Structure 1
């Protein structure tokens, strides 16, 4: 078995013991991929100290056999055996079972639980996600590759920022180039906004046409082996006004202040407040966005989160975004976002696309 998955599985078994669980029913696809290596859907994993099963069906059985590390793959006959019955059949000597509660709806769980009589069931949230916060070397490489694809795709898309281009057209061009460069789809729905619409933190690309002097905000990411990058750039087409430049410089200073704090032992809240101090001291304080960043990996937004209430101490192997923003309704907005790996002594930036404000 691949040593990476052996290490992850051993760590999870130790967590089960600490939480006094005989086993864990893993339901989240990203969590299943992290623990087993299987990248498909329609799968359910059972993890105990002595037994590991991945339940799927004929559509994914062969693929699961080739991808799974350390798990016996079970092909369920969907016509003749319910999912709950199949799960129960493979819960060997299990009295107390945890389940991945964040990844199943009530109706689906009720259908399963009917078959799990005699077993104590405990909803578990965040057990695997906490383990995933610290990225191993292979994971870091995938995120860095995704970031490099996004960097190159943006470089190739820059000539398309011309007067008359629509948000939707430039977004499609960027997405096309990421996929041509090897991205497995998009890390999330691309945000591409022009003019006053840049005040929408998560706006949807539309028919707005770009004109000289307009704000441009684009937030996008690539995917490599399930791992995501996340980057935001803000520009002006042509010459910026004094007000536009002042907003951009404020956001850039806030990002730099946060980056300067990034190192092991610093809390998420400390990083957040370093950025917030710059925004609070500016004329644009009331238009600043909430929060500062988040972990990134198999999820676009995963632990740790960088905000006022999170006292998590950063550790070597965390990959986080730093993305302060100012959003002024009716006028426009600026956000700058990069991905950072926490190293032994500080941080390493993974996203390298340049930030010329005027293009």
Structure 2
């Protein structure tokens, strides 16, 4: 089902249309460099990056954005969600389907209409929101289609931020800093994790002057005492006691751009956590010092691991060093600072590096940095020191 009526002026998208057109053109240039004829984008973070619409309706079935050189960008979405896609996105050409079973045919119709049915097209096979059953159904509709995995293509383009994006990232970090400062200043014996969440949310709202769907704070990982042993734990009505550690990872966002940060504290004294934090500070200092244009993601990761190796504390680090940030900071396929990664760092990339270490008794504790890659090195975006906060 094909419709072309004008966008209903209900919401709009956060950046000028020209910014989205620039992004789409950069993706198309990457498509041509990969010797592909088109790309079918389905990851929600990538859809938001390229169109303004966050793809949220695509839980039902994929909402593919089809980009091909010389052809108008085309969205294939569920009929029920069409007005939301038009209100929040910048794509004029929209084809629709009704039932989940109609998705493959609707997508295939666009592919045939654009003369791509026997061409080589990139699909985000390693990202979320595209199930193997969706791929099989589409292949059955267009049997001569040649599929290639381009899970990292849009991420590689989105990793380098425009000036508009960097402005939004800085705004998001100001909100994150406000949340962290509220956490630090409110840490006292008896306060609960959930009470602290409320305090932090109020601090973020005070910075923004309003709270809406485009500006806010993610659910923080905030844990006190023995509960700091839980990775990605949810806050509860759990109070902190004297001489206990407090762990915080939080990210505020603007227009879907998240600026995350890890900061920890001790109420009184806790030698085990304090020792762990001291090591994490050394790691972060080495990692940030290594960042510059032209270095590989693997080399940055290695700089931190070298500090850990020299410390002789084997097994305290159980994750990657960091990852690119921006829209949807957890998208599969994003640049990752991990062993032997070959991605090259470029100016205007933003990176989150949470150095969370695990003690022999299981405490998860540490610090981190969120940086902008500059022409000469790295700029730390947060203004909250990475040192241990003692209350």
TM-score of the pair, normalised by structure 2? 0.81
Matched, 1:275 2:301: no
| Separation in structure 2 between the aligned mates of residue 76 and residue 326 of structure 1, nearest angstrom | 48
Query: SS of the counterpart of 1:121?
Result: strand
Matched, 1:46 2:66: yes
Question: 1:75: how far off?
Answer: 5.0
Structure 2 residue aligned with 1:259: 288
Matched, 1:229 2:229: no
Give the counterpart of 1:158 among 184, 200, 216.
Answer: 184
Structure 2 residue aligned with 1:317: 348
Structure 1 residue aligned with 2:122: 98
Moved more, 225-234 or 250-259: 250-259
Structure 2 residue aligned with 1:128: 154
Give the counterpart of 1:198 among 202, 213, 228.
Answer: 228
Structure 1 residue aligned with 2:3: none
| Separation in structure 2 between the aligned mates of residue 230 and residue 325 of structure 1, nearest angstrom | 13
| Paired residues of 1:64 and 1:73 also in contact (CA < 8 A) | no
| Separation in structure 1 between the aligned mates of residue 270 and residue 256 of structure 2, nearest angstrom | 41
Query: SS of the counterpart of 2:226?
Result: helix
Q: Deviations over 1:186-214 (max 9, x none)?
A: 77542111123323343333343201111
| Paired residues of 1:251 and 1:324 also in contact (CA < 8 A) | yes
| Paired residues of 1:215 and 1:235 also in contact (CA < 8 A) | yes
Structure 1 unmatched runs, 5+: none
TM-score of the pair, normalised by structure 1? 0.88
Q: How does 1:159-178 map to 2 (within 5 A)?
A: 159-175=185-201, 177-178=203-204
Matched, 1:291 2:308: no
Structure 2 unmatched runs, 5+: 1-15, 58-62
Structure 2 residue aligned with 1:31: 46
Pair 1:177–1:115, CA change in 2 (3 A): farther
| Separation in structure 1 between the aligned mates of residue 144 and residue 272 of structure 2, nearest angstrom | 67
Pair 1:335–1:243, CA change in 2 (3 A): closer
Structure 2 residue aligned with 1:337: 368
Question: 1:356: how far off?
Answer: 4.8
| Separation in structure 2 between the aligned mates of residue 110 and residue 176 of structure 1, nearest angstrom | 47
Instruction: Give the number of aligned pairs.
Output: 357
| Paired residues of 2:322 and 2:336 also in contact (CA < 8 A) | yes
After superposition, the CA RMSD in angstroms is 2.7
Structure 2 residue aligned with 1:138: 164
| Paired residues of 2:76 and 2:97 also in contact (CA < 8 A) | no
| Separation in structure 1 between the aligned mates of residue 296 and residue 234 of structure 2, nearest angstrom | 33
Question: 1:267: how far off?
Answer: 2.4
| Paired residues of 2:259 and 2:326 also in contact (CA < 8 A) | yes
| Paired residues of 1:196 and 1:333 also in contact (CA < 8 A) | no
| Separation in structure 1 between the aligned mates of residue 264 and residue 225 of structure 2, nearest angstrom | 11
Query: SS of the counterpart of 2:248?
Result: strand
Q: Deviations over 1:161-184 (max 9, x none)?
A: 221222233234434544564474
Q: Deviations over 1:213-236 (max 9, x none)?
A: 111110010121111111010100
Pair 1:244–1:27, CA change in 2 (3 A): closer
Structure 1 residue aligned with 2:239: 209
Matched, 1:73 2:93: yes
